[in-house]
Structure 1
Amino acid sequence: MERNTSVFALFGGVRPMARKLDEPASNVAAWKRVGRIPAEKQPHVLAVGLKLGLPITAEHVVFPLGRPHAAYADLPSQDARVFCDRQSDSQRTKTAEPKI
C-alpha cells in the first residue's frame, strides 16, 4: 500500500503535533528534520494519534516521512561486518603466572 502523507501532516504540522504530544516543538521539528521518531516515543505518538481519531498506523510512526523510495530498493545492501584483528580482554587466553 502506497502512502504519501507524513505523520507530521496527519497531526496538522510540527507545532500542532508538539502540542498534542506535549513535546517541545523543537523536538518534533528535529524528528522531522532527521526523518525519524525516537523508538521510546513511537508508542506514545501512535496512541495519541489513534486517540485523536487520526488515520495513523505503526508504519507512519516508524517511517514518519514515508517509506524509503522504491528506486533505492535495487541498491546492494551495505556490508555491516566489522573486521578487527585485536582481541578483547575476554578473548585473550590467560597465561599462567611465572613461578619463581
Structure 2
Amino acid sequence: MTSDTDLFARLGGTRAVADMIGEPPSTVQSWKTARRIPSTKQPMVIEKVRNAGHIITAHDVVFPFGVPATPIEQKKAA
C-alpha cells in the first residue's frame, strides 16, 4: 500500500467502500473486522474501486492492513 493506513481508511471508511462496491456496510465491516477481503470478492473490489477513480493494486486488496510480520520479524521486535 502507499501508506501505513489500512485500505478501508484510505478509501474513506467502511460505508464509503460499501457504497463504492455495492455491498452492504455490514459485509464490508465484517471484512475489516476479519482483516481480510474474501478472495472471491477481491477482483470485484479492485475493478469497482478503480472505476471509482482510486489507485488500487491486487496487493492492497490481498493485504488491506499491510503485509503481516513474519515470525522472524516478530521475534526481532520482541
TM-score range normalised by the length of the shorter chain: 0.7 to 0.9
1:50 is displaced (CA, Å) by 1.1
Moved over 4 A (4+): none
- Stretches of structure 2 lacking an aligned partner (at least 5 in a row): 74-78
Residue 33 (1) aligns with residue 30 (2):
no
* Greater RCO (CA < 8 Å, at least 6 residues apart): 2
Quick check: which one's helix share is greater?
2
Please report the RMSD computed on the Cα atoms of aligned residues, expressed in angstroms.
1.9
Instruction: Determine the C-alpha separation between the residues in 1 that align with 2:2 and 2:35.
Output: 18
Q: Quick one: percent identity of the two aligned structures? A: 42
Aligned residues: 73
Residue 13 (1) aligns with residue 20 (2):
no
Give the TM-score normalised by the residue count of structure 1: 0.65
Name which one, 1 or 2, has greater alpha-carbon Rg: 1
Give the TM-score normalised by the residue count of structure 2: 0.81
